[in-house]
């Protein structure tokens, strides 16, 4: 089957990526602390270069072409590329305990590199080799769902062998089991989940709870003190849910109605501004009484400010994920699969979750996490309970044409 990708990214898509890199999901807390310093920032020139280079469509038989001779048996190594601050580390910051345990157990050495500073930059780095059918030098990578979808669609990710992934298959929590961009998780497994919730400052709201987008947009006591995110999928997805529409199956008419609802909030000045993760300072001070927020930020804000609370709307919330993939032509696929499976063992998953504080996609970790930190074990932003998991929704995969059109409409809304 052939898949068609645009020759270049539209102006609206480039603008959305710039927002993501500077203050959006591309600049989330914890894992992005080093990235925000500028060392990994992608320049506008870099974005322009990537848009101009074009992405060739996958060819027939791309799935077979993605495979390579697996040298795992002879070469006990796995080359793993990840984001900064996205792995457990010892107190002296010299070793990664879970990786050390994997090597001790299996004899497989992990060459671990934190060389992913943002999705766009990293894709630009590996794209030439992938397009040429060459080994990228990496056996395992972690990328956000929209980029994972693109890599899989292009035929540049290897299909995983379920027989090497017994823990992953058994322990993946239901809400991440079958995204529309990788049905049945044939090519990927989540590293962590990223949830969008409503956060509010009780000092700024007079002690009142804020628990719906309708309240954010209509409550006169919040006027001028409401924030929405500059990430289209999060803001529009949460608004779609509030309007009774499904983010998994909405139409263009549904999308336009959500944009119109938000535009009304802009015109009435109910909405103060659209933000990346720079909302944290305004929420902490009370300049924003309520806003859409990423759960990882909320956990860290609450550690220092007891006035910060969060709510999960009754209609649900938007969730996304960062995902493990084995790139095409990787030389050590079986070793990579063993490493994926290792992180789906509950004691190992608990160690990772305790350090990075994002949604753990592994079932059965509560007892192990409680031994490390009881508060984290009881936090549904890290371990979703049944009620929270049932409210999770993923923004559906967009066609290239939809993504261009939708980003243009959203850019006009937020003045980008």
Q: Note the pLDDT tens digit of each residue in 278-307.
A: 899 999 999 999 999 988 888 888 989 999
The answer for residues whose C-beta is within 8 angstroms of residue 26's C-beta and 6 or more apart is 17, 20, 32, 35, 118, 119, 120
Which candidate, 376, 369, 322, 330, places its Cα nearest to that of 350?
A: 369
Tokens encoding 79: 């080359």
Tokens encoding 69: 């001779």
∠ CA 119-121-124, nearest 5°, is 105
Which residue's entry shows tokens 């090519």?
Answer: 187
Whether residue 28 has pLDDT greater than 80: no
Average per-residue pLDDT for the chain: 86
Residue range(s) of every CATH 3.40.190.10 domain in the chain: 68-187+326-344, 194-319+396-414
Q: Note the pLDDT tens digit of each residue in 69-87.
A: 899 999 999 999 998 889 9
Position 118 confidence tier, pLDDT thresholds 50, 70, 90: confident
State the Cα torsion 260-311-86-336 to the nearest 10°: -80
Residue 5 DSSP label: -
Name the phi and psi angles at 395, rounded to 5.
-70, 130
Tokens encoding 56: 């060739």
Output the pLDDT for position 3.
45
Which candidate, 219, 367, 175, 381, places its Cα nearest to that of 294?
A: 381
Q: Note the pLDDT tens digit of each residue in 324-350.
A: 999 999 999 999 999 999 999 999 999
Tell me how far CA of residue 1 lies from CA of 72, 145, 187, in angstroms.
Answer: 30, 22, 17
Q: Is domain 68-187+326-344 in CATH 3.40.1390.10, yes or no?
A: no
The structural architecture, per CATH, of the domain 194-319+396-414 is 3-Layer(aba) Sandwich (3.40)
């Amino acid at each position: 089957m052939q898949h068609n990708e645009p020759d270049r990214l539209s102006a609206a898509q480039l603008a959305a990526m710039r927002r993501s890199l500077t203050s959006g999901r591309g600049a989330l807390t914890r894992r992005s602390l080093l990235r925000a310093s500028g060392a990994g920032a992608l320049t506008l020139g870099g974005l322009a270069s990537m848009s101009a280079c074009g992405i060739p469509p996958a060819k027939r038989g791309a799935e077979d072409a993605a495979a390579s001779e697996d040298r795992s048996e002879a070469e006990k190594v796995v080359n793993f590329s990840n984001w900064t601050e996205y792995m457990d580390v010892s107190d002296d910051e010299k070793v990664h305990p879970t990786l050390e345990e994997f090597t001790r157990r299996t004899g497989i050495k992990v060459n671990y590199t934190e060389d992913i500073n943002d999705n766009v930059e990293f894709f630009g780095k590996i794209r030439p080799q992938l397009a040429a059918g060459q080994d990228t030098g990496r056996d395992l990578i972690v990328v956000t769902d929209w980029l994972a979808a693109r890599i899989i669609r292009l035929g540049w990710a290897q299909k995983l062998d379920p027989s090497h992934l017994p823990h992953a298959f058994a322990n993946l929590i239901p809400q991440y089991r079958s995204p529309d961009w990788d049905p049945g998780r044939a090519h990927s497994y989540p590293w962590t989940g990223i949830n969008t919730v409503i956060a509010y400052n009780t000092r700024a709201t007079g002690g009142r709870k804020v628990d719906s987008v309708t309240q954010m947009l209509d409550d006169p006591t919040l006027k001028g003190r409401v924030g929405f995110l500059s990430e289209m999928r999060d803001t529009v997805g949460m608004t779609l849910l509030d309007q009774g529409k499904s983010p998994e199956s909405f139409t263009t008419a549904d999308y336009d109605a959500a944009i119109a609802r938000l535009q009304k909030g802009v015109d009435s000045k109910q909405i103060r501004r659209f933000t990346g993760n720079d909302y944290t300072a305004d929420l902490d001070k009370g300049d924003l009484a309520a806003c859409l927020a990423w759960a990882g930020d909320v956990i860290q804000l609450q550690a220092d400010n007891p006035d910060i609370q969060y709510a999960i709307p009754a209609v649900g919330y938007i969730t996304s994920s960062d995902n493990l993939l084995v790139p095409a032509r990787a030389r050590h696929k079986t070793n990579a699969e063993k490493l994926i499976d290792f992180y789906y063992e509950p004691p190992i998953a608990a160690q990772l979750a305790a350090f990075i504080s994002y949604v753990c996609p592994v079932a059965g970790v509560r007892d192990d996490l409680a031994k490390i930190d009881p508060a984290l074990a009881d936090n549904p932003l890290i371990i979703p309970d049944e009620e929270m998991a049932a409210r999770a929704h993923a923004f559906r995969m967009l066609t290239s044409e939809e993504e261009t059109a939708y980003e243009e409409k959203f850019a006009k809304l937020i003045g980008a």
